[in-house]
Amino acid sequence: MFHRFAAFLSASALLTACGTTASTTSTDDVTADATTDDSAMTDAVSSDLPSDISADVLPDVAADAASDSAADAPTDAASADTSDLLDALESDIPPADVPVLSPAYGAWSELPSDSTNTLAGIWGSGPSDIWAVGEQGTIVHSEGTTWHATESPTFQWLQAVWGSSASDVWAVGNFGTILHFDGKIWSKVKSGVTDGLFAVAGAGPDDVWAVGDAGLVLHKDASGWKQVTVPTSAFLYSVWALAKDDVWICGGQGTAIHFDGTTWKATTTGVTGTLEGIWGLATDDVWAAGNGGALLHWDGKTWTQAAGTDKNSYLFRVWGVAKNDLWASGNMGALLHFDGATWQKYTIPTDLQLRGFWGPSQDDVWVIGPAKVVYRYLK
């Protein structure tokens, strides 16, 4: 089934073939699972990829294909094509003035995930209890060193995972899929919706949020999951809950909305592209990442773009453990680290998309991508 994350991979494959690589007002309680009719399925499939992504992320494939097809082109034309290709490949790499950290700062290594499927989300309750989810309902678990596949009750794409403890873990995905782990087994939970869910996070076991297609927001309290009205119809891709009265959601069209425990309010981000990830340490210290190299900081009053990012890159996630220890990831293996003063480029053994982050400490960080492996940073 076609879905949002697969669209990025399909686009990447297409570009490779052409000679380059792409890198609050609660409603009534949610009812039992809605029956997915043909129109709902069509809407869910077509809505999984925002319209601005193809325009903002993908280069002119047709032009590249046309130039590549001229097998008998003059030598100087071939040289020009090679130059264009190199420019395209380098477009997702931070500019030269972004310093590259030396191995003395720590190193990233690649580990097999024990799955042949792409992974999209990662979370752990501690260094010996880490979960990752992804394609075809894939769920893998690590005790801190190796990864092992776990039985899953769904074949739907799982986009994100989050938990309040080792015995209270949630995963969400396509067509309104919600799964719960009680410390023993994963089981399906009725969401009452059929649209895609892209992110899940919370401030506690009875305060969990899930977001997705076209302004879709669900909230779980002690009574269960309910749909919530928010002041946007944009696609929503990330949620971060600092507390019951301090919740952020970001998404398409530069959307970043905030919940103060009573009301959802939109904020002005200054960007119009998609914001894919949001994360924060405090009410006045929140970060958002997205299209056009967007790496925005909220100081409690306004959003400000950070210096040192490539406007041609697409960032997916931002995450950290301290004010001076943040990570951001994106397409073409883009990986940046913030030391409290500047964002710096890190080298990692992949040129593919990097998605979710999680780590038990600043010296032990995990990140996942579409290559059926996970990457671990040890310092």
Q: Give the Cα separation of 303 and 284 in Å (integer).
A: 10
Residue 24 within a domain: no
What tens-digit pLDDT sequence spans the chain (379 residues)?
335 554 444 444 434 334 433 334 444 443 444 344 444 433 433 444 443 333 333 333 333 333 333 333 333 333 333 333 334 333 333 333 333 333 335 688 888 899 889 899 999 999 999 999 999 999 999 999 899 999 999 999 999 999 999 999 999 999 999 999 999 999 999 999 999 999 999 999 999 999 999 999 999 999 999 999 999 999 999 999 999 999 999 999 999 999 999 999 999 999 999 999 999 999 999 999 999 999 999 999 999 999 877 787 899 999 999 999 999 999 988 899 999 999 988 888 888 888 889 999 888 999 997 767 788 988 7
Residue 61 within a domain: no
Tokens 């990570």 correspond to 327
| C-beta atoms surrounding 63 within 10 Å | 11
* Domain CATH code at residue 264: 2.130.10.10
User: CB under 8 Å to 142, separation ≥6 — which residues?
Assistant: 124, 130, 132, 148, 374
Which one-letter DSSP state was computed for residue 223?
T
Tokens 């506690």 correspond to 204
Q: Tell me how far the alpha carbon of residue 189 is from its chain's centroid.
A: 23
| C-beta atoms surrounding 323 within 10 Å | 12
Residue 135 within a domain: yes
| C-beta atoms surrounding 248 within 10 Å | 23
Residue 146 within a domain: yes
Q: Give the Cα separation of 14 and 365 in Å (integer).
A: 32
Number of domains in the chain: 1
Type of residue found at 128: S
Domain interval for residue 342: 103-378
Residue 323 within a domain: yes
Q: How far apart are the first and last CA of the chain?
A: 40
Q: CA 299, 302, 308, 313 torsion: positive or negative?
A: positive
Residue 313 within a domain: yes
Residue 49 within a domain: no
Residue 155 within a domain: yes
Type of residue found at 202: G
Burial (0-12, 13-18, 19+ Cβ within 10 Å), 351: middle
